[in-house]
Amino acid sequence: MKTILTLSIILLFVQSSFGQACGVYELTYIGSVSSKSGKKTTIKLPSTLFFHISSKKEKSKTSFYDFNLKSSKIKSTIQSHLTSIYTSNELITLYKSNRDFIPLLITTIDENGNGNVQSLKILIKNLKFKGIDKPNKMTQIIIDLGKIKI
């Protein structure tokens, strides 16, 4: 029993010391939201799963992340759902080929607590993509949503 426990501890140590996040990458959204009616703004942004599977329903709960915006600026980062063997340029090509647009759901809450929900679709061709590949670092994809007026 002691031998099994000792081996388990050694294997756990080796795995945590030398393991790596093989192919996991970051997806960062940047941009801004301009709202005349809102005091508080939340935005739902597509996950990496949304881009990888072209048949995924747009309203699927696993395809989006909610972010509370503290200002008009959007800078939200998520990690990929699975590992990837692709470079940043290959991921960007995959994103562009699987989708024609990305849907956004923006909720603004005014001073009286009334919520206003708006659904938007931004065409992929109107987005700016940037990929960053650094040796021994996590690959990063940046999607610039631009200025969103609601």
Architecture per CATH, domain 23-149, reads as Sandwich (2.60)
CA dihedral 2, 3, 7, 10 (to 10 degrees): 60
C-beta contacts of 83-86 below 8 A and 24+ residues apart: 83/21, 83/22, 83/23, 83/24, 84/23, 84/24, 84/25, 84/139, 85/23, 86/23
pTM score above 0.85? no
pLDDT at site 18: 46
Burial 68-107 (b: 16+ CB within 10 A, else e): ebeeeebebebebbeebebebeebbeebeeebeebbbbbb
The Cα 118–Cα 75 span in angstroms is 20
pLDDT tens profile 4-17: 666 566 655 555 44
How does pLDDT run across 73-123, given as a tens digit for each residue? 999 999 887 666 788 899 899 889 988 999 999 988 888 888 888 899 999
Give the pLDDT of residue 122.
94
